[in-house]
Structure 1
Amino acid sequence: MTRGLMIVVEGCDRSGKSTQCELLVHNLKSRNIDSELIKFPDRTTQTGKMIDSYLRQKSDLDDHAIHLLFSANRWEAMKAISEKLLAGKTLVIDRYAYSGVAFSVAKGLDFDWCKHPDVGLLSPDLVLFLDLSINEAEKRGGFGEERYEKRDLQIKVRTEFRKLKDDSWKFIDASSSMEKVEQDVMKIVLDEMSKPRKELQYNLWKH
C-alpha cells in the first residue's frame, strides 16, 4: 500500500490557513483520496487544554514553558499520525513545529533552543506557506483576538518563518482570492502526489 502524504500548512495569522486546510481536505475527498485534517495545537488533550487557556489569555505561563507544551502537544500525536499515514491516509496538518519556533523566537527566545524539542519529529512531505503581508492581515476580520495576533509580533514571526524554509516548502500568495489560493494549493498538492514516496522520515531538523 502506498502511504499517505503528510502536508503541513503554515502561515501568519489571518492568512486564510484554516479555511484552505478545510478546502484542501474537501477537494482531496472529492477525488476519492482518503484524507483528514489535523490541527495543532490539539486543544482537546491535557497539554492542549493548558495551551488553549494560555492562548485565550486566561492564564500566564513562562515563554519557555509554553514552547515546551506546544512541542509536547505535537509529540503526543506522532504515533497516531504515523499509523494513519502508513494506512494510506493523506493528512493535512494546520500548523506544525515551524509555527512553534517562529512564534517563540519572535518573542525573544533563542532560535536553536526553540528548534531542539522538535528535533526528530516526522518530516512533512510538503509544507505550504500562505504568505500574507501584515497590512493585508490587519484588514481581515478578527485580527488581534488571540494573544499572538499583535502587529509587531506578527512582523517578527513572518521573518522567522523564512529562516525555517527548506526544499519541502512552497510559498503561496495568500492575498489572492480564496478561489485562486485554493487552485494554487491543489495544483501543488497534486504535483507532489505524482512523485514517488519515501519511507516516513523521523528526522525533522536532524540534518
Structure 2
Amino acid sequence: MTEMHRRVVLAGATSRAGLTIARALAAAGHEVISTGRTAERLAPLAEAGSGIEVADATSFEAMRTLAERIGPIDGVIPLVGGWRGGGGLAGQSDDDFEALLPSLQAVRATSRAFDAALRASPAGRFAIVSSVMVERPLAGSANYIALKAASEAWTRAVAQGYAKAARDADEPLRAAAGIVRVRGLDDVADRVAAHIAQLWDENAATLNGQVVEFV
C-alpha cells in the first residue's frame, strides 16, 4: 500500500463497481473525486467518503471545466460502461451501438481533459476497464467489443504520448496509462479495486501500456 496521498478522479463512478473502487482508493489513503450525472446517484459515493462532482464524463467540455476547477490530479479512471448485445451480426443494431458509445466517449474526454494534469503529476495514472473478449470477439458482442477495442487503442495512444513527452523533455517517465481486462466487472470488482489502489506503488515504465486481466 502506498504511503503517498494521491488525488484520483473516478469518472462515471455511479455503478456498484465504482463504489467498490472508490472505497478501495479511500482505504489506501487517497483522495477520491467521483463524477456522475446526478447528485442522487452520487450520494452513496459521498457516504463512502468520496468527493462528488455532478459532471458528464462523456463530455470533453464538462471534463475540461472540472479539470480546471479541481487543479492537480494524480489519477483518472473512466468507469462509464454498460452491455447490450446478442443476436449475431444481424442483431448488432445502431441503437445498441449508440447506447454503448459513451464508454469510448468517456475514455476520450477524460484522457484529453486531464492530460496536462496527469503529465504534471509526479505519478500520473490513467487506467480503463476493458474486456477479455477483445482477444476473443463473438458476433453477438461485436458492437460492445468494437468499442472496447477502440478504447484500448486510445489508451495505448495515451501511453505512447506520455512516453514521448518524457523523452522529448529528457525526463524520467512519471505518467502511465494502462488497461484492465475483465470478463464481468462486478464479479471481480474487489480485485480490480485493489489493483487500481496500488497503481501508484509501481514504476511508471512498468505500468505504461500494460494490460492486466482479471477473470
Q: Same fold (TM over 0.5)?
A: no
| Greater fraction strand | 2
What TM-score comes out, normalization by structure 1 length?
A: 0.43
Of Structure 1 and Structure 2, the greater helix share is in 2
The structure whose RCO (Cα within 8 Å, separation 6+) is larger is 1
